[in-house]
C-alpha cells in the first residue's frame, strides 16, 4: 500500500479528519494527505519533532518504556501523534468533534502496516 493511501484511509475514516502526515524524526515529511484543507500539516509536524524526541527520551530515561503516542487537544482541533518506529511517526489532525478514540485506533492499525513496509 502506498503511503498516501494509508494516510487517506486514516483521514477519511475518522470523520472530521483535516489531514495526516508521515514524518521522519529528522523533520522530513515522507508523504501527506490533506483533503480540501489549507492546514500546513508539515509545518505543524516539524514543530512537534523536537517535542516528540525529547518526550521519548524522557520516558525511556525514567523507565516508563517506549513512547507510543501523544494526544494534544486545542480549542479548534485534536492532534494525534503515533510512532511507527524509532525513525518515523504519524500525525493526524482532526476537528474538535471527531472521535479521538477512532483516530487513535486508525493510527495504531496504520502504524503496524507502515512499520512492515518501512522495514522492507
Any idea what the CATH number is for the domain that residue 34 is in?
A: 3.30.450.30
Cα separation, 47 vs 27, in Å, equals: 8
Over residues 4-39, the pLDDT tens digits come to 999 999 999 999 999 999 999 888 999 999 997 778
Please check whether residue 107 lies inside any domain of the structure.
Answer: no
Cα separation, 36 vs 48, in Å, equals: 23
**pLDDT band at residue 50 under the 50/70/90 scheme:** confident
Give φ, ψ of 119 to 5 degrees. -85, -5
Determine contact, residues 34/41, Cβ cutoff 8 Å: yes
* pLDDT for residue 93: 95
Which domain does 14 fall in, by range? Answer: 3-98
Which grid coordinates are listed for 101? 478514540
Give φ, ψ of 83 to 5 degrees. -70, 140
Q: What percent of the chain has pLDDT over 90?
A: 66
> Mean pLDDT for the chain?
91
Please check whether residue 15 lies inside any domain of the structure.
Answer: yes
Please check whether residue 119 lies inside any domain of the structure.
Answer: no
Please check whether residue 106 lies inside any domain of the structure.
Answer: no
Please check whether residue 43 lies inside any domain of the structure.
Answer: yes
Determine contact, residues 93/70, Cβ cutoff 8 Å: no
Overall number of domains in the chain? 1
- pLDDT of residue 79 exceeding 80: yes
> Once rounded to an integer, what is the mean pLDDT over residues 76-102?
93
The structure's pTM equals 0.90
* pLDDT for residue 62: 94
Please check whether residue 113 lies inside any domain of the structure.
Answer: no
Amino acid at each position: 500500500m502506498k503511503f498516501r493511501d494509508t494516510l487517506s484511509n486514516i483521514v477519511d475514516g475518522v470523520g472530521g479528519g483535516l489531514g495526516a502526515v508521515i514524518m521522519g524524526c529528522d523533520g522530513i515529511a515522507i508523504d501527506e494527505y490533506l483533503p480540501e484543507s489549507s492546514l500546513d500539516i508539515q509545518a505543524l509536524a516539524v514543530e512537534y519533532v523536537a517535542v516528540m524526541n525529547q518526550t521519548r527520551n524522557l520516558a525511556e530515561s525514567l523507565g516508563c518504556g517506549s513512547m507510543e503516542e501523544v494526544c494534544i487537544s486545542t480549542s479548534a482541533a485534536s492532534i494525534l501523534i503515533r510512532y511507527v518506529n524509532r525513525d518515523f511517526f504519524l500525525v493526524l489532525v482532526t476537528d474538535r468533534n471527531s472521535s479521538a478514540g477512532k483516530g487513535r485506533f486508525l493510527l495504531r492499525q496504520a502504524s503496524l502496516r507502515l512499520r512492515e513496509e518501512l522495514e522492507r
